[in-house]
């Protein structure tokens, strides 16, 4: 049996990972829908669904899938086009919630990918709700000019919150255990900092090293 799932479609930054695993052997393959499929005309025309189809067919080929072999595929919208194609191929497939062994593998793949984009580990690994939109938005605003290009700018939420007015001032941070969201290094107590302030779904304050 082969399992197929996606990870990262709900993350503001990066593309979407599509993964497949042959359950019996543990053979695992994956690819990414690039971020540009979540921008402008490509996003409006839902071309990411066509790209997902192309990737799934490529992954099935790599796993040497045969027409009589059972496929479990995630029931989410990302595979709407894939399911149509599998129907035309008379494939035996079931739409379901994908669990192990694929779930952990594909989530870890997307985590590593997000880290490779520069996202801080505490934003990816050590939170109950990893990659939450407004948490990631704080990270983006900490270095907006460089990080905006990583975002799914076709999203309605980006249209609403992706170009907010940012107030920048100098300040002194008397609290401890703060991390500069631009460089990822700690901020010393009583250190002079750059203070970014904006309003999204709530009042946000970001502290950066002055040199950052």
Looking at the fold, whether 134 and 97 belong to one and the same domain comes out as no
Looking at the fold, whether 18 and 109 belong to one and the same domain comes out as yes
- 197, β-bridge pairs: 167, 205
pLDDT for res 127: 55
* CA pair distance 198, 212, nearest whole angstrom: 18
* CA pair distance 154, 143, nearest whole angstrom: 20
Looking at the fold, whether 108 and 65 belong to one and the same domain comes out as yes
Looking at the fold, whether 45 and 74 belong to one and the same domain comes out as yes
Question: Which pairing describes strands 93-96 and 71-74: parallel, antiparallel, or unpaired?
Answer: parallel
Looking at the fold, whether 101 and 138 belong to one and the same domain comes out as no
Domain end marker among 91, 116, 141: 116
pLDDT for res 175: 83
Predicted confidence pLDDT, tens digits, the chain (212 residues): 999 999 999 999 999 999 999 999 999 999 999 999 999 999 999 999 999 999 999 999 999 999 889 999 999 999 999 999 999 999 999 999 999 999 999 999 999 999 999 998 888 875 555 578 999 999 999 999 999 999 999 999 999 999 999 999 999 998 878 999 999 999 998 999 999 999 999 999 999 999 99
Looking at the fold, whether 134 and 42 belong to one and the same domain comes out as no
Number of structural domains in the chain? 2
What range does the domain containing 30 cover? 2-116
């Amino acid at each position: 049996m082969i399992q197929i799932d996606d990870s990262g479609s709900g993350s503001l930054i990066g593309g979407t990972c599509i993964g497949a695993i042959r359950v019996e052997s543990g053979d695992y393959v994956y690819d990414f829908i690039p971020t540009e499929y979540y921008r402008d005309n490509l996003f409006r025309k839902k071309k990411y669904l066509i790209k997902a189809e192309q990737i799934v067919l490529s992954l099935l080929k790599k796993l040497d899938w045969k027409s009589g072999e059972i496929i479990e595929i995630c029931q989410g919208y990302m595979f709407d086009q894939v399911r149509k194609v599998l129907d035309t191929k008379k494939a035996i497939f079931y739409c379901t919630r994908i669990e192990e062994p694929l779930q952990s593998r594909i989530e870890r793949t997307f985590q590593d990918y997000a880290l490779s984009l520069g996202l801080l580990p505490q934003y990816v690994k050590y939170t109950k709700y990893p990659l939450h939109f407004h948490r990631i938005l704080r990270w983006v605003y900490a270095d907006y000019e460089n990080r905006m290009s990583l975002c799914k700018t076709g999203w309605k939420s980006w249209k609403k919150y992706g170009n907010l007015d940012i107030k920048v001032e100098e300040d002194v941070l008397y609290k401890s255990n703060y991390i500069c969201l631009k460089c990822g290094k700690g901020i010393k107590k009583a250190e002079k900092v750059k203070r970014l302030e904006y309003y999204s779904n709530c009042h946000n304050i970001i502290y950066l090293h002055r040199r950052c």
